[in-house]
Amino acid sequence: MGEEPNKIDVMRLGRDLPLGLTFSCIAPAAGLHCGRCNKCAERMEAFRAASIEDPTEYVNRPDYGIASRKDTKMFQVSREFNFCYGHRLMDHQGKCKHLHGHNARVIATFEAADLDSQGMVLDFNKIKQIVNRWIEEKLDHRMILRRDDPAIEALEKLGEPLYLIDGNPTAENIARVIFEKAAEAGLPVVEVRFWETPNCHATYRAPG
């Protein structure tokens, strides 16, 4: 076939059509359809519109694709947290290179395809017990610093409470830290939004 196929070709030929000619990407690592991009979503939709079972082999499950995701009913709940912290950004050229503080606002979001026996994604009290407790114990009223910050030694001598991370303690990295701690606790977290000021916030979402 010498020209770009249309949706009928996609539906009729399925995976027998050379990958490079289909409404799909090619995932380089496996030589298969990725299952997540817009082209893969269009491919899935073409089969669905024709009421034909999609025989395509995807690297990722089709339910993560754009086209099929819209047919999946998902529930989300979010909880907000607030705490105070100090930090500074190493190698920064502006005022943030100096030690300073923020009043942080955090919104963590959790997701499930189905509700539990009590009709919940997750009990808000459980979120508080796990996430808020960790924030209060590890981040609240502490200096959050990069592990190689030369100020650490002096602050430790003064008895200042610290929380050290591998990268710069930016809003982005703190959002990721909170996300990872929630995930490690087994919570179905999908997103953490972190405000370091009322006008500036960063978001970390589940990979993929």
Residues with catalytic annotation?
A: 96, 141, 196
Report the C-alpha gap between 142 and 135 in whole angstroms. 10
Residue 12 has a CB neighbour count (10 Å cut-off) of 14
Exposure pattern of 20-41 as b/e (b: 16+ CB <10 Å)?
A: eebbbbbbeeeebbbbbbebbb
Exposure pattern of 148-168 as b/e (b: 16+ CB <10 Å)?
A: ebeebeebeeeebeebebeeb
